[in-house]
Structure 1
Amino acid sequence: MTDSFASADERAAFIAGLPKAELHLHIEGSLEPELMFELAQRNGVAIPFASVEEVRAAYAFSNLQDFLDIYYQGMGVLRTEQDFHDLTVAYLARARADGVRHVEIFFDPQGHTMRGIAFETIVTGITRALDEAHAKHGMTSKLILSFLRHLSEAEAEATLDEALPFLDRIAGVGLDSSEVGHPPSKFERVFARARDLGLKLVAHAGEEGPPAYVHEALDLLKVDRIDHGNRSLEDPALVARLVSEGMTLTVCPLSNLKLCVVDDLADHPLKTMLDAGLAATVNSDDPSYFGGYVNANYRAVADALDLSKADLVTLARNSFTGSFLSEIDKAKHLEAIDAYA
């Protein structure tokens, strides 16, 4: 395998065909403005935008909270099982076009149940679309329930109670929303309970929060994967630990740029992570809001950092080894990557 690319077009073509998994995707964050307007009209929901262009113009954020404010506003158009189905179908079509073979999708039930939407409505709509993608295209998936960290642990416990009848469809729990001021330690008990139920555990840590939050996610929540993790690089001992434990980081380059975690993709830490031996992956996070699905993230960061073919293959391999697939299924995907490369 020649390791360098003659042009950005050659790199983009290689990325397009590269088998990959996506491990950090908030399904509500894939709500494109066009679908937002369609669902608002379908459900008779008033939204504070007059056009698709006005929505896109509002997608200018200076930090995580700016984004979350409009994110929660946008999800208000999701009301019925069909809405959640259609949202998920639209994402899966874009993912499949990007060579994604396996997805692990976050959903935020508290953002819906607090609006009076039944938990069953949400899960049934999403999983019906996941099942269809598997039946039609062979795409596999895992569903991860995310707790909103700006709410209380008691509210997270209540959400886990609601999830109990659906645990055959839910692979894990996560932790998202406003990071600073809401450390992982706040949710230690509910994560322990989820672990006892046999669920996988992930948590957003080290995006805007300090390396100490990553330590807490590891030591107190005992997570299987770290979402983001950028600020881990500020702590050399933490980096060494993450490498030794083979801990996967689900990195989201365009999200980091859009939320001003980095000022320029040329300064993004992804290459530093790879060179340090960290099991970094590339993901789209909230692609409708942050300007691109998974291949757009690969292309943007690969061009900015001049990533080699070996780097891209490593990222794709990490996306499967860091997934919650069986070892047999992981091996099949790794063989497909090697054959492609």
Structure 2
Amino acid sequence: MSVLIKEDDFYDLAMEYFSRAHKDGCLHSEVFFDPQGHVERGISVDVVVQGFDRACKDANAKFGTTNKLIMCLLRHLPAASGIETIDSTAKYFENGTIHGLGLDSAEKPFPPELFTECYGLIKSKFPQVGLTAHAGEEGDHTYVSNSLDLLNVSRIDHGVNSKNDEQLMKRLAEGRIMLSMCPLSNVKLQVVKDVSELPIALFLENDVPFSINSDDPAYFGGYILDNYIEVHTRFGFSLDQWRKIAINGIEGSWCDEDRKKELKAHVEEVCNKYASILN
């Protein structure tokens, strides 16, 4: 991280990711970044955001993709630091450069209730901003339900331990609250020993919407296609099951309705193509 100093450094980092994701067939990404870690090193938040934003725009133009930024707060830092970070990036939330707010880093011992003021501030000042939070990976299922109830998030990152509460799974299914699952990261961080142990099939059977994602691939390994391949290798889902997973991911995304229609049409086109081959 120490080599990231100038705006061009953040631009290059993001473009490297977007290029790799494009090679993997990714058409839309919603990318997390943690400005607090850079601000602590004396890097201006404007340098970070403007470098990433320029990369998003160039990747969209170059690859025909759509890419959005989600700013995360580091939960091991005080909520006051989160408030300062939100205040310093307010103009980027207002103009749509930053599309969402998240909460990451170690869940324990930093439960969601510590950050109600941060999320309340965003909700009151920028109601258009999407809200999500890492929950139920290291923490138990109550971290998921408390994130929904106290932070008013519309999505959950990871959410693996939602499997341990039937009522919570029902709530996720009925509310169409998407879990952004990161299978290879869960193995790397020893949440499970193998991808086959993840409740992916259970969530699918119970109509809990989820998407398949990479998580810090430069650190943990496992870019987006690697995660899809690993899930298919372990679970062997049918074409119809993969169609459902893909459509749920699109529905749970924060792209606009026109883009969702484009992406869903592409899913149907690909599924129809391979259905004819498989038949």
**Bin of the TM-score, shorter chain as denominator length:** over 0.9
Structure-to-structure mapping, 1:307-318, within 5 angstroms: 307-318=237-248
**Residue 236 of structure 1: which of 153, 161, 166 is its match?**
166
1:88 Cα deviation from its structure 2 partner: 0.4
Separation in 2 of the partners of 1:210 and 1:334?
33
Instruction: Please tell me whether residue 179 in structure 1 is matched to residue 179 in structure 2.
Output: no
Identity, % of aligned pairs? Answer: 42
**Partner residue, 2:10:** 84
**Partner residue, 2:189:** 259
**Residue 221 of structure 1: which of 151, 155, 174 is its match?**
151
CA contact (8 A) 1:149 1:182 kept: yes
Question: What TM-score, normalized to structure 2?
Answer: 0.93
**Partner residue, 2:274:** none
Instruction: Please tell me whether residue 290 in structure 1 is matched to residue 200 in structure 2.
Output: no
Q: Which amino acid aligns with 1:161?
A: D
SS of residue matched to 1:77:
coil
Runs of 4+ residues deviating >3 angstroms: none
Separation in 2 of the partners of 1:159 and 1:316?
34
SS of residue matched to 2:132:
strand
Higher relative contact order at CA 8 Å, sep ≥6: structure 1 or structure 2?
1
Separation in 2 of the partners of 1:291 and 1:178?
19
Question: What TM-score, normalized to structure 1?
Answer: 0.77
**Partner residue, 1:188:** 116
**Partner residue, 2:86:** 160
Which range moved further: 255-264 or 112-121? 255-264
Structure-to-structure mapping, 1:96-245, within 5 angstroms: 96-167=22-93, 168=95, 169-196=97-124, 197-198=126-127, 199-245=129-175
1:268 Cα deviation from its structure 2 partner: 1.8
1:307 Cα deviation from its structure 2 partner: 1.8
Q: Which amino acid aligns with 1:146?
A: C
RMSD between aligned alpha carbons?
1.0
Separation in 2 of the partners of 1:203 and 1:305?
27
Q: Which amino acid aligns with 2:61?
A: A
Q: Which amino acid aligns with 2:92?
A: F
Separation in 1 of the partners of 2:199 and 2:250?
21
Point out where structure 2 has 5 or more consecutive residues left out of the alignment: 272-279
How many corresponding residue pairs?
267
1:146 Cα deviation from its structure 2 partner: 0.2
Point out where structure 1 has 5 or more consecutive residues left out of the alignment: 1-74
1:176 Cα deviation from its structure 2 partner: 0.1
CA contact (8 A) 1:265 1:305 kept: no
